[in-house]
Chain A
Amino acid sequence: MKKQKIYIVVIIGLVTMLLVAVMFAQFKTIEETDITGIETARETELRTMLSSWKEKYEETAQRLTETQNTIDEYKRTIASNEESSEILDQELEQTNLLLGKTDVVGNGVIVTLTDNDVQTISADDLLVLVNELRLAGAEAISINDKRIVNMSEIVAVGDSILVNTERVTSPYVVKAIGDQTYLFSALSLKNSGFIDTHTSNGETVELVQQNNITIPAYSSSRELMSLNYAKEVEEE
């Protein structure tokens, strides 16, 4: 009887131990498991997750193809834009050259007018010279490194001469780039040319041909080419 009782007690103790051990292991597992983690999710949860991800993937794939299509379109536009922008660049360069917004270099002539005891150089003389140079096909003109553009003025104010609203003084170095021989011959025509007529007046005028003349860009306090009043006529 006594042996039987010990037997029962030991078995019940072992069973209790087993039950409590399994329960605590379960508690620990439940407590430490991250329920939101993929590894611990139940099969049904995984299935719903998988299907939703698949949907998302399909959506994203569709969006990807759409985006790639748009990218292709953009690329095509860019290619055509590049062509047009190259043309535009060229036009801009030419326009800048024409307007005098860039430094230019080339062959041409240099006319130096100096005040002497007999005659002082007047603004009219410079105007006439610039006019004749233009007639002879000068592409870029400067007076004492002041670029003559289509809005430049050469005007006498009191005793001084203003070019591009800045004072210039003797000696006046007029540089012109163009057809060298044509410019030279146009200015140095016998009797009627600029040099002859003005030297005969007693003015000191020198004309030289020179290669690689550098004429600087227009630079003035007045802003270049800002038209406030003249507007383009709108075509219908």
Chain B
Amino acid sequence: MMLFIAILIGCIVGALIGVNIPMIPYTYSGYLAIAIIAALDSVFGAISSSLQKKFDMKIFISGFFVNAILAMALTYLGQKLNVDIHLAAVVVFVGRMFNNLGTIRRYYVEKITDRKIIAKAEATIKESKKQ
């Protein structure tokens, strides 16, 4: 419960800050986009790992920042080398995001089906007890 309130407040305050922030030069917006993709990937990774009860705060925070910074650094390096590394980064991060989303989806689908099976089993048990 506290967690959701924290996320909500974070969203609102973040949106306000983002709208009022001075404009970022267009040249750097490419780096920023890569950083955002990396951060989002970390967030989805965190959600899926927390569903699997493997969530670790340190790994999440370090992944969040280090992935973003590394992605930016790689993009910079790619520009220096005249290779579109940012494309590779985008592919990797988006692929991982889809993987994580798939994990989350599978978790909830299994949960719902499990519940139904359990309900059915309970119903049959009750009936057998009555008889």
User: A-side interface residues toward B, CB under 8 Å?
Assistant: 5-6, 8-30, 32-33, 39-40, 42-43
Q: Is the CB of A12 within 8 A of B15?
A: no
Q: Is the CB of B61 within 8 A of A26?
A: no
- Assuming the contacts A19-B36, A40-B26, asked whether A28 and B7 have C-beta atoms less than 8 A apart, the reply is no
Interface mask (B1-39 → A, CB under 8 Å = 1, otherwise 0): 011001101110111011101011011011011011001
Contacts of A13 in B (CB 8 A): 6-7, 9-10
Q: Is the CB of B43 within 8 A of A19?
A: yes
B93 proximal to A (CB < 8 A): no
B40 proximal to A (CB < 8 A): yes
Q: Is the CB of A30 within 8 A of B64?
A: no
Interface-central residue, B6, B7, B27, B35, by most chain A CB under 10 Å: B6
Contacts of A6 in B (CB 8 A): 2
Give chain B nearest CB distance to A29 CB in angstroms. Answer: 5
Which bucket holds chain B's interface residue count? 20 to 34
- Closest B residue by C-beta to A30: B29
Q: Is the CB of A19 within 8 A of B14?
A: yes
Give chain B nearest CB distance to A187 CB in angstroms. Answer: 101
25 contacts between A and B (CB under 8 A): A6-B2, A9-B2, A12-B6, A12-B10, A13-B9, A15-B64, A16-B11, A17-B13, A19-B14, A20-B15, A21-B17, A21-B21, A22-B36, A23-B14, A23-B36, A24-B18, A26-B24, A28-B18, A28-B19, A28-B21, A30-B29, A32-B23, A33-B29, A40-B27, A43-B79
- Assuming the contacts A19-B36, A28-B23, asked whether A5 and B2 have C-beta atoms less than 8 A apart, the reply is yes
User: B-side interface residues toward A, CB under 8 Å?
Assistant: 2-3, 6-7, 9-11, 13-15, 17-19, 21, 23-24, 26-27, 29-30, 32-33, 35-36, 39-40, 43, 57, 61, 64, 79
- Secondary structure at the A interface, as helix, strand, loop or mixed, is helix
Q: Is the CB of A26 within 8 A of B10?
A: no
- Assuming the contacts A16-B14, A17-B14, asked whether A24 and B61 have C-beta atoms less than 8 A apart, the reply is no
Q: Is the CB of B10 within 8 A of A16?
A: yes
Q: Is the CB of B40 within 8 A of A29?
A: no
Which of B18, B57, B64 is A23 in contact with, Cβ under 8 Å?
B18
Which of B9, B27, B39 is A19 in contact with, Cβ under 8 Å?
B39
Nearest 9 A-B pairs (CB), nearest first? A24-B18, A20-B14, A16-B10, A13-B6, A40-B26, A17-B10, A21-B14, A17-B14, A21-B17
